[in-house]
């Protein structure tokens, strides 16, 4: 079932399993179970009571997310979501991973659940690179960013951080991480005595944001998709 839902653009396999466990998926009128087998076109599969539509052609886009938007499909508090920026894509998409409301930069969206899982999950090992402006800079803070640390009781792999610009205690840093946990960069900086002023993701693996304007999106090329799902992960900070 997870594979079917992913292929039809409902969610990644991981998210599809959550939908199933929450009782939101039925097969022939009965609640589905994780790992259950079914056949689209033969079995009646529904999500939240709506029949599962035909599989769509996979679509992969990058968005230069502005600040002030949350990275969800919808929000019960009425806050603007990134989905309002890609309504002209022509298909139903969902975000790959997260960028918090106050962060900006490279965000991927797709209807391919397997692609989303491969890129977003820490086991995929995709390096995510950010440009960060912060106050409170010291050489010891930079050194601390390049060492393993504990965040929210969990061990975090050492980042790769370098100084780009500095004016007094204000600095612009480039920081590359592997895990991409919730607000990880901000929490790492806080541990090191740095107060983040702005945070922008500029690369995921070999895929670079480049000159895409804030709030704009474009489709990925075939080579770019392959760079994220294959082994060509060569972006050098």
- H/E run at residue 17: helix 13-21
Q: How far is Cα 111 from Cα 119, in angstroms, rounded to an integer?
A: 13
Give me the chain's average pLDDT, please.
90
Find the radius of gyration of the CA atoms of the chain.
Answer: 20
Report the percentage of the chain scoring pLDDT > 90. 65
Confidence band of 122 (pLDDT split at 50, 70, 90): low
Q: Do 38 and 73 share a structural domain?
A: no
Q: Do 65 and 39 share a structural domain?
A: no
Q: How many domains does the chain have?
A: 3
In a domain, 142, yes or no: yes
Q: How far is Cα 39 from Cα 97, in angstroms, rounded to an integer?
A: 29
Residue 9 three-state SS: coil
Q: Do 64 and 37 share a structural domain?
A: no
**Can you give the CATH number for the domain in which 154 is found?**
3.30.70.1560
Answer with the residue of higher pLDDT: 205 or 232.
Answer: 205
Tens digit of each residue's pLDDT (9 = 90 or more) over 26-49: 999 999 998 899 988 899 999 999
Catalytic residue status for 100: yes
State residue 237's pLDDT score: 33
In a domain, 235, yes or no: no
Q: Do 198 and 134 share a structural domain?
A: yes
Q: 236 CB contacts (<8 Å, ≥6 apart)?
A: none
Q: Among the listed ranges 82-96, 107-121, 148-162, which one has the minimum average pLDDT value?
A: 107-121
Confidence band of 124 (pLDDT split at 50, 70, 90): low
State residue 123's pLDDT score: 67
Residue 149 three-state SS: strand
**Distances 214 to 65, 200, 217 between C-alpha atoms, Å:** 6, 11, 9
Secondary-structure percent of the chain, ordered helix, strand, coil, rounded to 5: 25, 30, 45
Q: Do 30 and 16 share a structural domain?
A: yes
Q: Do 213 and 97 share a structural domain?
A: yes
Active-site annotation holder among 22, 43, 88, 100: 100
- pTM (predicted TM-score): 0.80
State residue 3's pLDDT score: 83
Give the structural domain span for 211: 60-123+206-229
Q: Among the listed ranges 12-16, 120-124, 158-162, 182-186, which one has the minimum average pLDDT value?
A: 120-124
State residue 8's pLDDT score: 82
In a domain, 177, yes or no: yes
In a domain, 100, yes or no: yes
Answer with the residue of higher pLDDT: 7 or 28.
Answer: 28
Q: Do 140 and 24 share a structural domain?
A: no
Confidence band of 231 (pLDDT split at 50, 70, 90): very low
């Amino acid at each position: 079932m997870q594979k079917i839902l992913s292929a039809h653009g409902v969610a990644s396999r991981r998210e599809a399993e959550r939908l199933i466990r929450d009782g939101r998926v039925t097969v022939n009128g009965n609640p589905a179970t994780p790992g259950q087998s079914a056949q689209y076109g033969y079995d009646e599969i529904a999500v939240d009571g709506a029949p599962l539509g035909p599989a769509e052609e996979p679509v992969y886009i990058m968005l230069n997310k502005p600040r002030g938007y949350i990275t969800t499909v919808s929000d019960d508090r009425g806050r603007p979501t990134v989905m309002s920026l890609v309504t002209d894509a022509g298909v139903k998409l969902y975000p790959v991973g997260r960028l918090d409301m106050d962060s900006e930069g490279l965000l991927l969206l797709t209807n391919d659940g397997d692609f989303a899982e491969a890129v977003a999950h820490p086991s995929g090992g995709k390096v995510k690179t950010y440009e960060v402006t912060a106050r409170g800079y010291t050489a010891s803070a930079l050194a601390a960013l390049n060492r393993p640390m504990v965040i929210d009781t969990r061990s975090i792999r050492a980042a790769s951080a370098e100084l780009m610009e500095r004016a007094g205690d204000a600095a612009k840093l480039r920081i590359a991480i592997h895990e991409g946990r919730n607000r990880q960069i901000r929490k790492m900086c806080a541990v090191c005595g740095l107060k983040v002023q702005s945070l922008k993701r500029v690369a995921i693996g070999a895929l670079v944001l480049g000159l895409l304007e804030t709030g704009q999106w474009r489709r990925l090329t075939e080579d770019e998709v392959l760079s994220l799902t294959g082994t060509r992960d060569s972006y050098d900070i």
